[in-house]
Amino acid sequence: MKAGTETETNARRSAFGRVVETAFELVYPRSCWICDERIVGAEASGGGRDGVSSGFRVPLAALVCDECRRAASVPARTFCRRCGRVALRETARGDDALCRFCLRKTGASEFAFDEVRPMHFYRGTTRALVLRLKRTPDPTLAEIAARLYFESRRRVLTAFRPDAVVPVPMNWRRRFLRSVNSPDFLASALARELGVPCWTKTVRRIRATPPQSAVDWEARRENVAGAFALSEGKADGPLERLKGKRILLVDDAFTSGATANEIALELKDRGGVEAVCVATLARAGLGKGRRL
Ligand SMILES: [Zn+2]
Ligand SMILES: [Zn+2]
């Protein structure tokens, strides 16, 4: 009898919930933050376009459609942990897989950073997300990107045990033109997910670099050589705080690795950083015949 009453109450409650949800959707129809398609049948209720910033955590299912969420998760092929190229199937031991270039190298890596962890290739949904992030000055979108990244790369991030998150600084001219600093937004959102500080002023560009149009690795490396410096005693605190730390370096996309390499060099040589892991949404520049 009692159980019956409870069931009836629950049914009434869930019916009421559905009415509220439908009414809410009529006022605030939910559309996917990446593709703009209407989100139907999302498990979660509540939240509008300002859901994340309104204090409670809106589930990803209410912000990104199932298709985009699936497409943005880790692709079938694994990325090489050292350089981000496609890893060889035979070495594909999950997160430790290597590509044929890195497998041959027994000594030091060609990069100053220790790992690179892309979420996906720079195409389809991930490309749409990266481009939207560059154009939309909305922290909610950055938070969504960070949550998608965290969802698919949680294991490697946790294993790396970062002490702080540092964004790749943007060229001020490009920042002015785009008006959105997507690596900054993304880094802050990722730091919140990880519960570690975000040091946005630690690395700065000391000279503008021409766009990385060259394909050749050496040319790209020369392009960014000496372009970055560590900020002494600025808002993030004295440089000594970097000593022995493990840094998660964040960029929206990763092409040749020349920029991340240059910053990792600076962080290690001048800052005494122990390890650098590059977190990036998209691995670009893997076109046919390209030497990265
Ligand atoms: Zn979508
Ligand atoms: Zn590799």
Q: How far is the CA of 171 from the centre of ligand 2 (A)?
A: 28
Ligand nearest to the CA of 35: 1
Which ligand lies nearest the alpha carbon of 36? 1
> From the CA of 79, which ligand is nearest?
2
Question: How do residues 206-254 score in pLDDT, each as one tens digit?
Answer: 887 776 665 577 788 888 888 999 987 667 778 889 999 999 999 999 9
Residue spans in the chain of domains classed CATH 3.40.50.2020: 73-283
pLDDT at 106: 64
State the Cα–Cα distance between residues 156 and 170, nearest whole angstrom.
26
Separation of CA 104 and ligand 2 centre (Å): 9
Q: Which two tokens stand for residue 108?
A: 């030091």
How far does residue 144's CA lie from ligand 2's centre (Å)? 28
Give CA torsion, residues 191, 127, 100, 258, to 10 deg. Answer: -60
Ligand 1 center to 138 CA (angstroms)? 17
Report CA(131)–ligand 1 centroid distance (Å): 14
Q: Is the pTM of this model over 0.85?
A: no
Could you tell me the distance, in angstroms and rounded to a whole number, from the CA of residue 59 to the centre of ligand 1? Answer: 14
Token pair belonging to 141: 């979108």
- 219 contacts: CB under 8 Å, gap ≥ 6: none
Nearest ligand to the CA atom of 63: 1
Q: List C-alpha distances in Å: 149 to 27, 130, 238.
A: 30, 12, 30
Q: For domain 73-283, which architecture applies?
A: 3-Layer(aba) Sandwich (3.40)
* Smallest-distance ligand from the CA of 125: 1
Q: What is the pLDDT of residue 51?
A: 43
Between 181 and 93, residue with greater pLDDT: 181
Q: How far apart are the first and last CA of the chain?
A: 70
pLDDT > 90: what percent of the chain? 41
CA proximity to 242, closest of 232, 250, 252 = 232
Write down the pLDDT at residue 194. 93
Task: Return mean pLDDT, the chain.
Answer: 81
154-209: per-residue pLDDT in tens?
Answer: 889 999 999 999 999 986 655 555 556 788 889 999 999 999 999 998 999 888 77
Cα 119 to middle of ligand 2, angstroms: 16
Are residues 143 and 177 in contact, defined by beta-carbon separation less than 8 angstroms? no
Report how far residue 66's alpha carbon sits from residue 61's, in angstroms, rounded to the nearest whole number.
Answer: 7
Cα of 230 to ligand 2 centre, how many Å?
A: 28
- Measure 40 CA to ligand 1 centroid, in angstroms: 11
Reported as a single tens digit per residue, the pLDDT across 30-58 is 899 999 998 876 544 444 444 444 456 78
